[in-house]
Amino acid sequence: MLKELLVMDQEKPDVLSVDELRIILDYYSQHPPPWINNSPSLAKKKKMADTDLKIVEDVLRSLTLAAEHFRNLWDWSEFSNCYLNHNDKYVVWLACQCMAIILQLTELEKNNLIMLHMDKKTNEENMLKYNLKSNSNYKDYLKLYIPDPDQYTTVEGVSLSIVGPPKPLGDLILVNSTKQNLRNLSLAVSAGKAACLVGPVGSGKTALVHYLANITGHTDEKLLTVQLGDETDSKMMLGSYHCTDIPGEFVWQPGALTKAVTEGKWLLLEDIDSASSDLAAVLVSLVESRSLTVPGFRDRLIPATGFQLFFTQRVITTTSGYYHKQNIATDLLGKHYIQINVEPLSKNELIEVIEIKFPILKTIAPKIIDVFLLFSAGFHDNDAILSLKRNGRLTSTRDLMKWCARIVKEYDVTSSESALKVIQDAIDIFCCSAANPSIYKLSISIIISTIESKLYSYMLFPSY
């Protein structure tokens, strides 16, 4: 799916980069249909020729982008009365296309509707005219829907709408792979597709979503985060009735999913591979039909403008690489979301992050990364490291950042005490999970030999 979006983005740079669907949905959430006389957009269009043609073209374009949304948003009786009886046969042909989408007609039923208003030759001429215009550049029409260009920001070449004051962007360092992941995530949001970030623990999956949320003004109130687990079922996510202090009175309390759908918020579901089967079924129904059914509350909820789903999925680190934890949720949802693979940073990128985030450690950054890579994911020939990885906890980039944060406190590149503290902190972070004393001792020797600080080796080995 992401590959298809990237191809589209290259062939038609404006299609996804301007967030076409979201722009139109945002506009019509506050304005009436284009054929209503008091529509602000109509006032602009009256300055052009063929006003009715422009209106019907815009309506058909909107229906093509989000048929279910506009089918329920507007009263179509006035539209059909006005444009199915228009003098311009091309306008009538376009109106027939619109009504076919609204009424969900089959191809045969649509052709019968068209034949009621024109002959076969005229139908073919209008079809050819429409196809020729569809292949031309028609993006200028979007200017009608953007009253304020400042409502949009650009993230790695992709324009996204701003819903509030941007927050501080935090400590995320934008190395090359991070920039590419941000672009892929922005493309998914721009296309209105659910996004699933897949990667090992500590690879930055959640940080990417929060970075995008901060830059687009999705504060804590507009970004809901739920850590999924065995006890997170559909009832908890949808909501339920709760009793009040008044006997016999119950009030509806929406869950995170219902709240996000009705209020147009962003929803981040951590560890989607831990979702229960009933929650997976609800999510699949939501992304397939673009509507949410909440038993006992509403039969059908259409997502408000701005609603966006994010998932994270953890891949398990092993001595032979990575593997996905498959369950019914990932099996059902796999074809409905855009998958973004968030791989660990390369050695050079990790060094770049350390040098930018902790400039004082620039001289020893390569040695720090060498030690970290010994205990992180990958292929290792050393028996001590293999045993530690099998029996200890998972090592992630968070551990690297924790180690560096400890080192920089009163660090002096010329101080022998600072050199000793570097090793001591590394042992505390990477080796304390070893249950076997011999493995612990051997891991220490590996750290020392890697950092090349043999001078202090006798100080670090406890006697067992």
Map out the domains of the chain as residue ranges.
Answer: 18-142, 154-341, 347-453
User: For residue 72, what pLDDT is reported?
Assistant: 82
Cβ atoms of 329 and 229 within 8 Å: the answer is no
Query: With 0-12 CB in 10 A as exposed, 13-18 as middle and 19+ as buried, what is 83?
Result: buried
User: For residue 446, what pLDDT is reported?
Assistant: 64
Q: Is the pTM of this model over 0.85?
A: no
**Tokens found for residue 109:** 């039923």
Sequence-ordered strand ranges (E) for 171-265: 194-199, 223-227, 239-243, 250-254
144: left (phi over 0), alpha (psi -120 to 50) or beta: alpha
User: For residue 96, what pLDDT is reported?
Assistant: 93
Residue type, 278: D
User: For residue 33, what pLDDT is reported?
Assistant: 87
Question: What residues have CB less than 8 Å from 222, skipping those under 6 apart?
Answer: 163, 164, 213, 265, 266
**Tokens found for residue 164:** 């509030």
**Cα separation, 222 vs 112, whole angstroms:** 47
User: For residue 266, what pLDDT is reported?
Assistant: 92
Which helix (H) or strand (E) segment is 337 a member of?
strand 337-341
**Number of other residues whose CB lies within 10 A of the CB of residue 154:** 11
User: For residue 238, what pLDDT is reported?
Assistant: 86
Cβ atoms of 272 and 333 within 8 Å: the answer is yes
**Cα separation, 191 vs 350, whole angstroms:** 31
**Cα separation, 62 vs 330, whole angstroms:** 32
Answer positive or negative: Cα dihedral of 169, 200, 309, 251.
negative
Q: Which is nearest to 24 in space by CA: 56, 48, 59?
A: 59
User: For residue 115, what pLDDT is reported?
Assistant: 92
User: Which portions of the chain are predicted below pLDDT 50?
Assistant: 1-18, 38-49, 137, 378-388, 453-464
Q: What is the fold, at CATH topology level, of the domain defined by 154-341?
A: Rossmann fold (3.40.50)
User: For residue 40, what pLDDT is reported?
Assistant: 40
**Cα separation, 46 vs 430, whole angstroms:** 70
Strand partners, 384: none
User: For residue 9, what pLDDT is reported?
Assistant: 43
User: For residue 389, what pLDDT is reported?
Assistant: 52
**Tokens found for residue 427:** 């042992």
